[in-house]
């Protein structure tokens, strides 16, 4: 299967998790490649980075190595939309993702949208009571804290760029300090 490879390493400050790769991202070879996706503009306007990054595979590498922000998806099969995915793919993907999180031990698991968090939780046997609010979530995955921001996809028109930047800034405040590896017990 032609898919978008994970961009990860041990000791990440944050592991960003989407539902599955988009077809434009797989063709381009990097996450959030659709020019209408607001991830890169929100990232560049936020305090998650100290200088703007030009969207591309080099920027993803900088995020992983310099900023400790990695990327993966629950389901690795690319589609035009998540409605094309099957329950079995989510179950298999949730198990793979949970094993990845436990192995990499990131400080925070950053879900791109409530739908991604709910899909993971449902298929990993976790319970979410009620509505998902943006920001920190109760519980952990291993030692990793959980944070949810609105999905930056162009399909999610409910949240404009200023709102995304505010939530990315809130994530910046929530992250472990730079240089604090995921294997440290000094989580804040």
What residue ranges do the domains of the chain occupy? 14-172
pTM of the model: 0.91
What CATH number should be reported for the domain whose range is 14-172?
3.40.470.10
pLDDT of residue 23: 92
Residues 123/87, Cβ–Cβ less than 8 Å: yes
Residues 171/178, Cβ–Cβ less than 8 Å: no
Distances (CA, A) of 144 to 75, 97, 137: 20, 13, 11
- The per-residue pLDDT string of the chain (188 residues; one tens digit each, 9 = 90 and over) reads 799 999 999 999 999 999 999 999 999 999 999 999 999 999 999 999 999 999 999 999 999 999 999 999 999 987 877 777 888 899 999 999 999 999 999 999 999 999 999 999 999 999 888 889 999 999 999 999 999 999 998 888 789 999 999 999 999 999 988 765 444 444 33
Residues 62/53, Cβ–Cβ less than 8 Å: yes
Annotate the chain with three-state secondary structure.
Answer: CCCCCCECCCCCCEEEEECCCEHHHHHHCCCCCCCCCCHHHHHHHCCCCCCCCCCCHHHHHHHHHCCCEEEEECCCCCECCHHHCCHHHHHHHHHHHHHHHHHHCCCEEEEECHHHHHHHHHHCCCCCCCCCCCEEEEEEECCEEEEEECCCCCCCCCCCHHHHHHHHHHHHHHCCCCCCCCCCCCCC
pLDDT of residue 1: 76
């Amino acid at each position: 299967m032609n898919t978008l490879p994970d961009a990860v390493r041990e000791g990440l400050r944050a592991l960003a998790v989407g539902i599955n790769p988009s077809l434009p991202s797989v063709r381009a070879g990097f996450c959030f490649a659709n020019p209408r996706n607001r991830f890169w503009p929100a990232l560049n306007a936020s305090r998650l980075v100290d200088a703007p990054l030009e969207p591309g595979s080099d920027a993803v590498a900088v995020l992983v190595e310099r900023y400790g922000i990695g990327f993966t998806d629950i389901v690795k099969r690319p589609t035009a939309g998540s409605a094309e995915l099957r329950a079995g793919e989510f179950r298999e993907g949730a198990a793979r993702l949970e094993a990845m999180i436990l192995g990499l031990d990131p400080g925070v698991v950053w879900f791109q949208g409530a739908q991604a968090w709910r899909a993971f939780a449902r298929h990993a046997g976790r319970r979410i009571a009620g509505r998902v609010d943006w920001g920190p979530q109760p519980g952990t995955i291993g030692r990793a804290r959980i944070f949810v921001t609105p999905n930056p996809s162009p399909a999610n028109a409910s949240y404009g760029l200023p709102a995304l930047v505010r939530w990315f800034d809130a994530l910046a405040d929530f992250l472990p300090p730079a240089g604090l590896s995921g294997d440290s017990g000094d989580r804040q």
